[in-house]
Amino acid sequence: METSPQEFDPISRKRNMLSWALPGLFLLFVCTGLTAEDVSLQSIVTPSTVVMKEGKPVMTVGVMGGDMQPQGHEQVLVNVFDLGANLQAATDMARFYHNEVSNKLFLESQLYNLPVQGGTTMGEALRAMGHDVSSTDGGAVGGYQAIMFTPDPIEPAPDPGKNGGTPINGFYRAGSDHRKDGGAVGW
């Protein structure tokens, strides 16, 4: 029986971030209030990425799906940071996948059927430009989970050396993809 990988991206109340995928591959990133100068976080073969802002971790995000991983990460990050989507909306948005070996483009049906100028759809317009394009279901575009920490601008950040474990002041937000099994967890 083949099991699909499960994505885990937890963040603790002290902004410790972990990210791993199972089975067959176990990778772990931990960031305990370190700055960018203290630690180098990279996503090489794992489907997860830790996003830093001003030297502090703010988000852990993962997209499962082989060579869809970097494409999916980019699409989700654009949805969140450029388009202003919350983490759940970012995963609910239609995605696309370019298979580099076959040079074929797969668009989720909502994107494929999106009306464009000229009275046609996105898929038909791309095909008219010479692209090998197909409509696909969600399985081809990976699965996604993410957790984001947003500091509270009103409350000063507590001093971890003085507060004895009091949570960092801020808000946790999460998103989990409807296309795959998984969930976002914070503690």
Q: Give the E-state strand segments of 20-169 in sequence order.
A: 20-22, 48-53, 56-64, 96-99, 104-108, 115-116, 120-121, 133-136, 143-151
CA distance 5 to 82: 29
Percentage of the chain beyond pLDDT 90 is 30
Average pLDDT in the chain = 75
34 band by pLDDT with thresholds 50, 70 and 90: very low
Going from N- to C-terminal start, the domains of the chain cover: 6-93+142-176, 96-141
Contact 64, 5 (CB under 8 A): yes
| Contact in structure between 179 and 3 (CB atoms under 8 Å) | no
Indicate the class that CATH gives domain 6-93+142-176. Answer: alpha beta
Average pLDDT over residues 47-67: 79
| Reported confidence tier of residue 87, pLDDT bands at 50, 70, 90 | very high
Confidence (pLDDT) at 67: 80
List strand residue ranges (DSSP E) for the chain, in order.
6-8, 20-22, 48-53, 56-64, 96-99, 104-108, 115-116, 120-121, 133-136, 143-151, 170-176
